[in-house]
Structure 1
Amino acid sequence: MSADDDDFEDDLDDDEASEPVVTIEVNGLSLFTHHGVSEAEREVGQRLVLDLRLEVGECDATITDRVEDTIDYGEVCQVVALVAQQRSYRTLERLCSAIADRLLDQYDAETVWVKASKPEPPIPLPVEDVSVEVFREADG
């Protein structure tokens, strides 16, 4: 066995000892909201579709198998619904920022990514959807 082989085995041992890094994703959270630039959008309302990604990092739940040791994605959906439905924003940028800030404040995530899509945007051209994405990192 050569010295290079020993180095390779040491690298394998280090990889096996490290905990997995956890990412939690929610895709296609559909909510009826009252966001938009026009008064009609805010008054009548419309469906938004939200996608979320929370980088948790190392997480005890990978060993304990306890939801208390991770971020509960069901609870995350409830928090997002509350933020998205408790007040009206003119821009998706502001809405996504408010959601990202709340998630970082409430959960122990390293980063949060939020995407909000309007499947039926009020524009005179045919599009599948329009969307805005916001990425935030935790302080420290």
Structure 2
Amino acid sequence: MTEDCLQLRGLRVMALCGALPEERVRAQPFELDVDIGADLAPSGETDDLGDTIDYGEVCAAVCAAAEGGQFTLMEAMAQRVAEVCLEADRRVLWVTVEVRKLRPPVPQHLSTSGVRITRDRQ
């Protein structure tokens, strides 16, 4: 695996994700961080957008996947986002996705709940 990494931080989406009945019908805020492993040397040398992964396109695809789906578990949302990232560009070697629920439905004072997964090209 290359150590080069494109980092996307704090992408906010409104999505249907949760096990409780109200979470199944009312979108709630989530924050995503996405790390994309790819060889960034070519774009570092050429300074040409065509030689790298367009993070604007990745953000649009991630938002569409998260906001367009309905998930019971954050694990499933993270898996779908990872699949979209791996499909977005053949140069993507691996992806790490963090999904954080910004309003977890628990009685304790909990800022966020979340998951982190890493998937690679197989």
TM-score normalised by L of structure 1: 0.81
Q: 1:51 aligns with which of 26, 33, 36?
A: 33
- How far apart are the structure 2 equivalents of 1:48 and 1:26? 14
1-structure distance, mates of 2:11, 2:52: 20
Q: Secondary structure at 1:60's aligned position in 2?
A: helix
* Mapping for residues 54-73 of structure 1, pairs under 5 Å: 54-73=36-55
Question: Match of 1:6?
Answer: none
Q: What is the alpha-carbon distance in structure 1 between the residues aligned to residue 3 and residue 23 of structure 2?
A: 40
Distance 2:118 2:4 in 1: 17
AA aligned to 2:117 is V
1:39 aligns with 2:21: yes
Aligned residues: 120
> If each structure's helix is expressed as a fraction of its own residues, which one has the higher value?
1
Give yes or no for the alignment of 1:137 onto 2:120. Answer: yes
Structure 1 segments of 4+ aligned residues over 4 angstroms from their partners:
none
Q: Deviations over 1:42-82 (max 9, x none)?
A: 21111000000001124421111111110011111101000
Counterpart in the other structure of 1:77: 59
Q: Structure 1 residues 118 and 21 mapped into 2: Cα distance closer, same or farther (>3 Å)? A: closer
Higher CA-based Rg = 1
TM-score (normalizing by structure 2): 0.92
Q: 1:100, 1:113 within 8 Å by CA — same for their partners in 2?
A: yes
Matched, 1:110 2:93: yes
2:4 equivalent among 22, 27, 34: 22
Q: Which runs of 5+ in 1 are unaligned?
A: 1-19
Q: Which amino acid aligns with 2:120?
A: E
Distance 1:21 1:87 in 2: 31
Deviation at 1:21, TM superposition (A): 5.5
Is the contact between residue 21 and residue 58 of structure 1 (CA under 8 Å) also seen in structure 2? no
Which residue matches 2:106? 123
Q: Counterpart of 1:125 in 2: which secondary structure? A: coil
* 1:31 CA drift (Å): 0.8
